[in-house]
Amino acid sequence: MAAFRFISQCLNTKTESISGLHYTVFRRLLNYSTVEYAEQNDPRPSFFNKDIQNILRTLTRVDLQRVFRTRKLGQGKVHDPEYRFMTNEELQMAMREAELKADNLLQIPPVVPVRTPISKILSQDPELQGLESSKMIFTDITFGVKDSDRLIVVREPDGTLREAEWEVRNRINQIYFPQEGRAIKTPQMFQGTEFEDVLKRQEYEFILDRACIQFEPNDPEYQRVTSITYQHINDNNGFEKLRSTRHFGALAFFLVWHKNIDNLLLELIETCYADEANTLIELYSKIHKVNFEKTSELSMIEDYIKKFSNKKGALELALQAYKELLDEKRKVEQGVKTAHGLS
């Protein structure tokens, strides 16, 4: 599998951030390369591991208010909120129900290898050559059969009978068994300048939600759209746009899998989420089978920066600023205790 990398000579402009510790990179969409999960480096054993799923959930930073926020999805009138008087027991039950619903809404889209092309020939019948001038498609339309298992074959004008390729299978399945929201042809928003425009507007959740509806997780188009979106988020420090959504775990896994976590780690340190920064390093450790020192609260982060970081200077400055902030906080707390006669 090709290493995850960015093409530095394609950078157009750089804009310094307020903190001065990182910059936002603007470049044309065409300079992003598609990054696929290859079969020979299968991510499924790691992704579906229970411990890794728990880590991804932690990094998602679940906020129920954001999970259940009103979204403009073009599905009609937005209803006014409903208010109820509840006992403590009823409130606790309602909160548990909300958490269960949030678990369902935050289910991370599966990370799987890209599918291999279909090229199986069932028979060669040259005596049928010229019988028809166009291809003929035969489809099993039995109800209850999975779309991925449905028998769909193509008879070529030269008499060749073969299994239908993925693009034909998707189109035929959508014709006979349409899925709500899925178009027969790839929407223009995923192509060319339209895709570039929606990325520039940072409509990341909208892009990824739409991709989950339109494509299967092993579709090369799905992996093209998601990988470019993740790269754009990483370049433009747009992590907050996906927090408390089902896509943040997939983004974190993508960056860790391809060893490109420096920007996310920097953002966590700058925003004083050192616990999540440690969780991110733990995820890196589990996926890539490496060990980090655990002698102090920040030792894992320091060890990662020393061994694997490509932005040592920025991360070291951010970590030093965080340490100074902790020292100031301890001094203030100690001063408060002293003023109140506490030990």
Mean pLDDT (the chain, rounded)? 87
pLDDT in tens, 136-180: 999 999 998 999 899 999 999 999 999 999 999 999 999 999 999
Per-residue pLDDT for 213 more than 60? yes
Per-residue pLDDT for 27 more than 60? no
Q: Are 191 and 225 in contact (CB under 8 A)?
A: no
CB atoms near residue 40 (< 10 Å)? 6
Q: Count of alpha carbons within 13 Å of 289, Cβ hemisphere only? A: 1
* Distance (Å, whole) CA 317 – CA 80: 47
Per-residue pLDDT for 16 more than 50? no
Contacts of 163 (CB under 8 A, 6+ apart): 118, 120, 122, 152, 153, 154
Show the tokens assigned to 321. Answer: 């600023």
Q: What is the average per-residue pLDDT within 73-79? A: 64
Per-residue pLDDT for 20 more than 50? no
Per-residue pLDDT for 115 more than 70? yes
What kind and span of H or E run contains 323?
A: helix 312-339
User: Residue 300: which pLDDT band, with cuts at 50, 70 and 90?
Assistant: very high
CB atoms near residue 263 (< 10 Å)? 23
User: Residue 76: which pLDDT band, with cuts at 50, 70 and 90?
Assistant: low
Q: What is the average per-residue pLDDT within 43-54? A: 96
User: Residue 72: which pLDDT band, with cuts at 50, 70 and 90?
Assistant: low
Q: What is the pLDDT of residue 331?
A: 86
Q: Are 166 and 156 in contact (CB under 8 A)?
A: no
- Note the pTM of the prediction, 2 decimals: 0.84
User: Residue 18: which pLDDT band, with cuts at 50, 70 and 90?
Assistant: very low
